[in-house]
Structure 1
């Protein structure tokens, strides 16, 4: 998708019709729009959102129509407020227009109509009006991704905050084709449920009873999963509320230092908990792989006694140490005593009987090999216990450090409670209640996870029983085959999803790291966790807190990386089934506001490489200097937002903005 132009007609402070055309040049892919505070930069960004989705994130969002245009209108005149966007996608050219009509009555009363939206596309010489524009718009640029490609400097840093993981996860699913797989898994699972209901109509009583049990288990699983999703959302909200209170405490005189200390301790505690999880995982793996060695002591000792006895007393037939000697005698046809050995003779059969009691190889060699094996087992057992001891020592040490930090955190809380400030005391009390609530929700989630595991195991067992049931009815057999096909398909798609998700995370991790290192001067590492959280670690591998500017850079690295990766997939000559990708523009309002001089220069130097089209809306102070120096040679289009301030211009008592192209 590439933007060609936007037309704003009496939208907010944009008076009459204002047109901004965007650069589509490969070498000069940057469009710069200059505007001072209050001139309509944020309104311009919201114009995209309103046009595409009918959504606004502005104060007084119901006041869409420009005041000057309403003032100029005569009684019974109609005033149109509209935004139209021309864009192209997959060789199709689109014109999307959303408008609202207002009619001016007597005594300056205004009556507003309902918003209307129209989407027209052209391919070749033909054009067509799309009857259901919402579906087509969401196919091209899904609504839940709008804030990633039309974002402002304040919104951008939210991605790297604690509550941003769900947004990141949804963005990745949409752009990287994972959502298609997710929907396919759900729809196929629904089909399997329908076929099972059919089977009830044709199956025998045992089949019907089993299906009812399966349906009941599926219903319980659905309820638990729904409850779990709700709890996870509550957990995120609670975590966000806790963070807000902690931030307030950081800026209140009297609690600032203590809260900063607590925040540092929280980071240390989080790092220790992460290490403890690693240790527990290692312990599980070690015990799972080598736990049998703990029970080998008696067997090894008994084996050593047997070997010792065999070495002193001999084994099998005295004088004959291996079965290979018997084979040699039979082959030669003569015994060591000189007796002739004929097939099926008495001596021949006797030798075969003796052979049954002898080892296939030399007894001495067998004993040596067996002793070597025993020594290996003993050595492995020793290493196993040493490894266990080392891991347990680390675990105990970390647990001790965890207890100490928790005590220090509790001491800081006590000091905060002792502060002679009603505001601090109130915030600390709220924080403690939220922490208790957070722990309770976590415990409930843990209990639900346990129930889900048990129900899943029981469901799997019932489904196996169902597959064993042989039904005579042809329709029942057909329904059963359909169910099994759906189950196989769901399992296959789930396997593909896991592989695809892991691959996407690895690819995205590499790209985010690459972009992040270009943008941030510190030697920090950015990591995307399995829960799609963006975390930053210092040189000591400890998670670090970030300033607003650093959070902004972190979020920008993610957005830029995912746009770049989607573009790379789209341009592949040979693409996989779920590697559609796409071309996405980056429209940024004030992306440099919270950054220092060095970081502004780094961002300005590299941001144009991440997308085929970059649109930057900036104030003069943000543009001048490092940003202009890095981006001026990349500009394909440039505009100035000229704002009429009614406080300064008495002849025009209404605010309005005009977009003027800079030539």
Structure 2
């Protein structure tokens, strides 16, 4: 998708009609729009969201029509406010217009009509109207991604804050094709349910009973998953409130130092608890894999005893050490005693009977191999004990540190409670309640996870039992085949999803790292965890606290990486159905606001690489200097927002903005 132009008519402070063309050049892909504070930069960014999705994130959002246009209108005359955007996608040229008509009453009351949306595209010289514009817009640029491609630089830092993992995961799923797989799994599951209902109509009583039990289990699992999803949202909200409360404590005199100490201890506790979980998982895996060696003691000792006794007594028949010796005698046809050996003779049968008690290889070799095997088992058992001992010692050490940190945190809480401040006491009390809520929710989620696991196991058993029950009708057999096909397909798609998700995360990690290194001067590294959290660590691999500017750079790195990966997939000559990708524009309002001079220069130098089309809306003060110096050779289009201040311009005593192209 590439933006061609935007027209604003009486939209907020844009009086009458203002048009901005966007650069689509491959080597000058940047459009710069700059103006003074209050000139309509944020309104311009919101014009995109309003036109595409009807969303407006501005003060007095209902007052969308230019105030002066309404004031000068005669009574009972309609005033139109509209935003029209022309854009191309997959070789189609689209025109999208959203408008509102207002009518001024006789007593200056303004009556707003409902917004109207019109989406057309040109094909073979003909203009066609799309009857379902919302669906088509969401196909091209999903609404849940609008804040990534039309983003406010002053708020972009939210992606690097705590509790943003859900937002990040949704963005990745939408852009990288993972959402298609999720929907496919859901729809296939729905189909399987329909076929199972069909089977009830034709199956025998036992089959019907099993199906009803399966449906009941599926409903229970579905209800638990819905409950879990709600709890996760509540948990995220609780954590957010905790962070806000802790942040307030940091800025109250008398609690600053204690709260900072507590946050440091909290981080250390989170890190040690994470290490503890990994250790416990490693212990479980080690015991699961090698635990059988602990029970080998008796068997090994008994085997050694038998071998030693037999070696002292002598094995088998003296002089005959393997079955191959008997084979040689039979082949020669003469026994060691000189008797001729004929097939089916008594001598022949005797030799075959002896052969049954002999090893196929040399007995000496077999004994050596057996002794070697026993030694390997003993060594492995000793290694298992040592490894388990080492892991348990580490676990005990981590648990000791965990207890110490919890005690220190509780001590800090006590000191905070002792502070003679009603505000501090109130915040500490609130924080303790939130911590209790967090623990309660986490316990409930854990219980639900265990219940889902048990029900899923029961469901699997019932489904297997259902397959074994013979059906009495051909239609029932067909329905069962369809159910089996759906379940096989769901399993295959879930495996593809897991593989695809892992690959996407690895590819994104590489790109985020590359972009981050270009933008941030510090030697920090950025990681995208399995839980879709953006974490920044220092040289010692410790998570670091970031300034607003550093958080902004972190969020920008993620957006740039995901847009870059989507673009690469789109341009692949050979790609799967899940690698459709796409070309996405980046429209950024004030991306340099919270940055120092050096970081502004770094961002300005590399921002054009993030997308095939970059539109930067920036204040004049941010634009001048290092930003203009780095970007001037990349600019394809440039506009200045000229704002009329009615307090200064007495000839035109109303507020309006003009978009003037800079040649």
Counterpart in the other structure of 1:89: 89
State the alpha-carbon separation in 1 of the partners of residues 42 and 258 from structure 2: 37
258-267 vs 18-27, greater mean Cα deviation: 258-267
Counterpart in the other structure of 2:400: 400
Once the two structures are superposed, what CA deviation does each residue of 1:471-508 show, in whole Å capped at 9, x if it has no partner? 12111111111111111111111111111111111111
636-645 vs 187-196, greater mean Cα deviation: 636-645
Counterpart in the other structure of 1:565: 565
Question: 1:631 deviation in Å?
Answer: 0.7
State the alpha-carbon separation in 2 of the partners of residues 504 and 521 from structure 1: 27
Counterpart in the other structure of 1:419: 419
Question: 1:651 deviation in Å?
Answer: 4.2
Q: Is the 8 A contact 1:267 1:544 kept in 2?
A: no
Counterpart in the other structure of 1:29: 29
Q: Is the 8 A contact 1:15 1:656 kept in 2?
A: yes
Once the two structures are superposed, what CA deviation does each residue of 1:498-535 show, in whole Å capped at 9, x if it has no partner? 11111111111111111111111122221111111111
Asked if 1:116 is matched to 2:134, the reply is: no
Structure 2, unmatched stretches of 5+, are none
Question: 1:36 deviation in Å?
Answer: 1.8
Question: 1:123 deviation in Å?
Answer: 2.2
Asked if 1:456 is matched to 2:456, the reply is: yes
Q: Is the 8 A contact 2:95 2:120 kept in 1?
A: yes
Asked if 1:299 is matched to 2:302, the reply is: no
Counterpart in the other structure of 1:247: 247
Question: 1:442 deviation in Å?
Answer: 0.3
What are the equivalent positions in structure 2 for 1:323-334 lying under 5 Å apart?
A: 323-334=323-334
Q: Is the 8 A contact 2:189 2:490 kept in 1?
A: yes
State the alpha-carbon separation in 2 of the partners of residues 463 and 477 from structure 1: 15
Counterpart in the other structure of 2:165: 165
Counterpart in the other structure of 1:367: 367
Asked if 1:622 is matched to 2:622, the reply is: yes
What are the equivalent positions in structure 2 for 1:146-157 lying under 5 Å apart?
A: 146-157=146-157
Q: Is the 8 A contact 1:91 1:123 kept in 2?
A: no
Once the two structures are superposed, what CA deviation does each residue of 1:344-380 show, in whole Å capped at 9, x if it has no partner? 2112111111111111111111111111111111111
SS at 1:108's partner residue?
Answer: coil
State the alpha-carbon separation in 1 of the partners of residues 485 and 355 from structure 2: 55
Once the two structures are superposed, what CA deviation does each residue of 1:209-244 show, in whole Å capped at 9, x if it has no partner? 000000000000000000000000000000111011
With over 3 angstroms needed to count, the CA separation of the structure-2 counterparts of 1:127 and 1:459, relative to structure 1, is same
What are the equivalent positions in structure 2 for 1:510-659 lying under 5 Å apart?
A: 510-659=510-659
Q: Is the 8 A contact 2:643 2:655 kept in 1?
A: yes
Counterpart in the other structure of 1:318: 318
SS at 1:39's partner residue?
Answer: coil
Counterpart in the other structure of 2:191: 191
Asked if 1:504 is matched to 2:494, the reply is: no
Question: 1:337 deviation in Å?
Answer: 2.1
Structure 1, unmatched stretches of 5+, are none
State the alpha-carbon separation in 1 of the partners of residues 124 and 419 from structure 2: 73
SS at 2:640's partner residue?
Answer: strand
TM-score normalized by the length of structure 2: 0.98
Asked if 1:384 is matched to 2:387, the reply is: no
Q: Is the 8 A contact 1:271 1:543 kept in 2?
A: no
Q: Is the 8 A contact 1:525 1:536 kept in 2?
A: yes
State the alpha-carbon separation in 2 of the partners of residues 645 and 395 from structure 1: 68
Q: Is the 8 A contact 2:41 2:589 kept in 1?
A: yes
State the alpha-carbon separation in 2 of the partners of residues 653 and 419 from structure 1: 56
SS at 2:633's partner residue?
Answer: helix
Counterpart in the other structure of 2:12: 12
Question: 1:647 deviation in Å?
Answer: 3.1
Question: 1:541 deviation in Å?
Answer: 1.6
State the alpha-carbon separation in 1 of the partners of residues 314 and 523 from structure 2: 70
Counterpart in the other structure of 1:49: 49
State the alpha-carbon separation in 2 of the partners of residues 9 and 184 from structure 1: 42
Counterpart in the other structure of 1:438: 438
TM-score normalized by the length of structure 1: 0.98
State the alpha-carbon separation in 2 of the partners of residues 421 and 349 from structure 1: 104
Question: 1:321 deviation in Å?
Answer: 1.9
Question: 1:20 deviation in Å?
Answer: 0.9
Asked if 1:72 is matched to 2:68, the reply is: no
Question: 1:92 deviation in Å?
Answer: 0.5
State the alpha-carbon separation in 1 of the partners of residues 599 and 297 from structure 2: 63
State the alpha-carbon separation in 2 of the partners of residues 598 and 306 from structure 1: 79
SS at 1:409's partner residue?
Answer: helix
State the alpha-carbon separation in 2 of the partners of residues 571 and 417 from structure 1: 60
Q: Is the 8 A contact 2:103 2:112 kept in 1?
A: yes
315-324 vs 105-114, greater mean Cα deviation: 315-324
Once the two structures are superposed, what CA deviation does each residue of 1:92-113 show, in whole Å capped at 9, x if it has no partner? 0111000001111223221111
State the alpha-carbon separation in 2 of the partners of residues 491 and 388 from structure 1: 36
State the alpha-carbon separation in 1 of the partners of residues 624 and 297 from structure 2: 77
Asked if 1:447 is matched to 2:479, the reply is: no
SS at 1:107's partner residue?
Answer: coil
SS at 1:162's partner residue?
Answer: coil
Counterpart in the other structure of 1:346: 346
Q: Is the 8 A contact 1:561 1:610 kept in 2?
A: yes
Counterpart in the other structure of 1:263: 263
Once the two structures are superposed, what CA deviation does each residue of 1:323-359 show, in whole Å capped at 9, x if it has no partner? 2221222222222222222222112111111111111
25-34 vs 266-275, greater mean Cα deviation: 266-275
268-277 vs 63-72, greater mean Cα deviation: 268-277
State the alpha-carbon separation in 2 of the partners of residues 308 and 574 from structure 1: 67
Once the two structures are superposed, what CA deviation does each residue of 1:32-70 show, in whole Å capped at 9, x if it has no partner? 111222111111111100000001111110010111111
Once the two structures are superposed, what CA deviation does each residue of 1:589-640 show, in whole Å capped at 9, x if it has no partner? 1111111122111111111011000001111221122211111110111111
Q: Is the 8 A contact 1:30 1:616 kept in 2?
A: yes
Q: Is the 8 A contact 2:204 2:472 kept in 1?
A: no
What are the equivalent positions in structure 2 for 1:101-140 lying under 5 Å apart?
A: 101-140=101-140
State the alpha-carbon separation in 2 of the partners of residues 415 and 38 from structure 1: 46
SS at 2:526's partner residue?
Answer: strand
